Amino acid sequence: MMNAKLEMKLKNLPSNPGVYLFKNREGKIIYIGKAKSLRNRVRTYFQSPRHLDPKTSRLIGSVDDMDLMVTDSEIEALILEANLVKEHKPHYNVNLKDDKHFPYVKITVNEPYPRVLVVRRLADDGARYFGPYTSAKSMRRTLHFLCALFKIRTCNLTIPHPAGRAYKVCLDYHIGRCGGPCEGLQTEKDYRRQVDSVIMFLSGKSEILIQSLNKRMERKSQQMKFEEAAEIRDQIDALQEVWRKQKVDAGKMVSRDIVAFAREERETAVVVLQIRDGVLIGRQDFQLNSDSEEKDEEIIAEFVKQYYNHQPNLPRELYLPLKLTEEKLICRWLSRNQKQKVRIFTPLKGEKVKLVDMAAANARLLLDEVLIQKRGFKERVSQAVQILKEDLHLEHLPRTIACVDISNTGETDAVGSLVYFENGKPKKSGYRHFKIKGVQGQNDFAMMREVVGRYFFRLKEEKGEAPNLLMVDGGKGQLSSVLAEIKSLGFENLSIIGLAKKFEEIYLAGHSEPVTISKSSPGLRLLKQVRDEAHRFAIEYNRKVRSARTIKSELDELAGIGPKRREILLKHFGSMQRVKEATIEELQGIKGIPKSIAEKIFRMSH
């Protein structure tokens, strides 16, 4: 039910472009979106909830408040949205998984003798930036190669000296790694030429750089400066070797980024291939947090907005695996500060498709690596499971544990629960609950026997795998009540224990005396966690059964309310109290409840 504050905000939405921030009851931002018209966009979430997809339905069910930020244009809203998503990382937005600041290469071109630095943040300081680089190791290796090749200084000296004093050259000069500008052994013009060569290489203009160096080498030869010509020749050879390794058949010589992705369930891997003048100069890998119900187009659109929002060097062409709904808007946004328009393509045939397919193959490899690591982590045995095996002297590791508990109120509404843990963690898909059918009165032992019998009978019928360890909530009596039932179904080798609440004593099948485990043992803590979870699950189901019975008894008085409509009401509201508190509009809005029945229920409640 929408609160009055949120309802008032919805009635007074502006028609301006801007950003909306949905918040939950704790005031935490759970979703950030942008709109050309805030009034039109935000209201669509709340006007027809029946037509919303499952993810959006969950989102709207969690919204308790919202904030608005009005902007002058839709492009400004897009930029603001990308910045806010990067800062807050809301649960329902697509997010770059790694929240660290990726490294950039900074060249201090605003200094007389520029330096090449590695930084984590961009600044508007007149320097040239390249990046971001997801592999810091590869980036540093490239910088080491370039600085050595073009003799770029690695010191932090201020050149020339602020006080006019002279520096002395360091070891780098003596081993041929620096031209010695600090001592005046290299002119500013010569040093700047070397820096320009580094900038051209990092910009992906290797072929143009090699042509320029060839002309310089020829001039030096004609001037009889053979040592300098030989030095330039070595630079050309080194660059050509790197260029040959990077060259790909990319068609015309323009700067181009190829973006592709691969996804499986909640895991998404994105690869960006950076091609400059036909040369593959880099590959950036990213992992995204995304809902399994998120559309592919939404994932790519969100990635493009977040990644290129802080890119200092944009390509002229951007190749994507699928077409974007907001393609024109994103093109305008990308081109806003560029000399040339940035264009987006979705190739369907020819050589360009091969480039996208190559990026997609790399993304699939990256995703497979991520999944293998995650599965390997899941397969690791937790320390608590290993210690529990030793504490109970079990033959096999209790990787899977099932625990049974009973909950009843007097002689009515008796239910049973079974919770399932895998490698020390709850596995909700293995949880089961049972209504007690074959036991009259209050007999916990017989109820426990019924629940265990029904669970393992079905397990046998479906040829399922039994848990490594079965635990019943209780002592010797509860344990004895299920042993015969288990053996009659053919599960003779199953490890079974009972955990008594009073002194946390553990009873093992075939042992008359309890086993006592140290209170500080991780194994005992795991058993208590499993037992408490089974107790919570049983009580929760017991309340649900009682609530359903209450609704049935009260709604039975009204004509037209049968089992199916009772189930619809219970599923929608959760309790009879909430049914009574519902407005006539809420009742009429439920699919399967006609207007006449809604009015009867409302009159009965009020």
Tokens in use for 452? 């265990």
The reported pLDDT for the residue numbered 409 is 67
Measured from the Cβ of residue 425, the count of other Cβ atoms closer than 10 Å reads 11
DSSP 3-state assignment of 260? strand
DSSP state of 575: S
DSSP string computed for 458-483: HHHHTTPPPPSEEEEESSHHHHHHHH
Whether the predicted pLDDT of 22 surpasses 90: yes
The pairing of beta strand 65-70 with beta strand 104-107: unpaired
Averaged over 413-438, what is the pLDDT? 88
Among 130-134, 357-361, 560-564, top mean pLDDT goes to 357-361
Among 58-72, 143-157, 271-285, top mean pLDDT goes to 58-72
Number of helices (H), then strands (E), in the chain = 20, 19
Separation CA 459–CA 239 (nearest Å): 66
Residue 277 amino acid letter: D
Averaged over 393-409, what is the pLDDT? 86
Query: Residues near 223 by Cβ (< 8 Å), separated by ≥ 6?
Result: none
Averaged over 31-58, what is the pLDDT? 83
Environment class of 68 (CB within 10 Å of its CB; exposed 0-12, middle 13-18, buried 19+): middle
Separation CA 79–CA 378 (nearest Å): 38
Averaged over 563-587, what is the pLDDT? 76
Q: Do domains 385-544 and 556-605 have the same CATH topology?
A: no
Alpha helices in 268-419 (DSSP H): 296-308, 327-334, 351-379, 383-392
> Kind and range of the H or E element at 81?
helix 74-88
Q: Assign domain 385-544 to its CATH architecture.
A: 2-Layer Sandwich (3.30)
Averaged over 196-200, what is the pLDDT? 85
565-568: which pairs have CB atoms within 8 A and are 24 or more residues apart? 565/592, 565/593, 565/597, 568/592, 568/593
Q: What is the mean pLDDT of the chain?
A: 81
Separation CA 605–CA 554 (nearest Å): 10
The answer to whether the Cα torsion of 168, 170, 172, 174 is positive or negative is: positive
327-331: which pairs have CB atoms within 8 A and are 24 or more residues apart? 329/74, 329/75, 329/78, 330/78, 330/301, 330/304, 330/305
Q: Do 78 and 305 contact (CB within 8 A), yes or no?
A: yes
The reported pLDDT for the residue numbered 320 is 92
- Does the domain formed by 256-376 have CATH 1.10.1750.10? no
Residues 486-536: pLDDT tens digits? 888 888 778 898 888 767 788 888 777 888 788 888 888 899 999 999 989
Separation CA 184–CA 166 (nearest Å): 8
Residues 212-263: pLDDT tens digits? 888 888 887 888 888 878 888 877 777 776 655 554 544 556 788 899 999 8
Beta bridge mates, 262: 269
DSSP string computed for 581-597: H--HHHHHTSTT--HHH
Whether the predicted pLDDT of 431 surpasses 90: yes
The reported pLDDT for the residue numbered 249 is 47
The reported pLDDT for the residue numbered 418 is 93
Q: Do 141 and 148 contact (CB within 8 A), yes or no?
A: no
The reported pLDDT for the residue numbered 162 is 80
Residue 547 or residue 80, greater confidence:
80
The reported pLDDT for the residue numbered 470 is 92
The reported pLDDT for the residue numbered 400 is 92
For the ranges 149-163, 238-252, 358-372, 508-522, the lowest mean pLDDT is seen at 238-252
The reported pLDDT for the residue numbered 278 is 63
The rounded percent of the chain whose pLDDT value lies above 90 is 7
Query: Residues near 27 by Cβ (< 8 Å), separated by ≥ 6?
Result: 65
Locate the domains of the chain by residue range.
4-93, 104-203, 256-376, 385-544, 556-605
Fold of 4-93: GIY-YIG endonuclease (3.40.1440)
Measured from the Cβ of residue 259, the count of other Cβ atoms closer than 10 Å reads 24
Fold of 556-605: DNA polymerase; domain 1 (1.10.150)
Alpha helices in 393-492 (DSSP H): 444-461, 476-488
Among 36-45, 333-342, 510-519, top mean pLDDT goes to 36-45
User: How many residues comprise the chain?
Assistant: 606
Separation CA 363–CA 267 (nearest Å): 12
Q: Do 194 and 205 contact (CB within 8 A), yes or no?
A: no
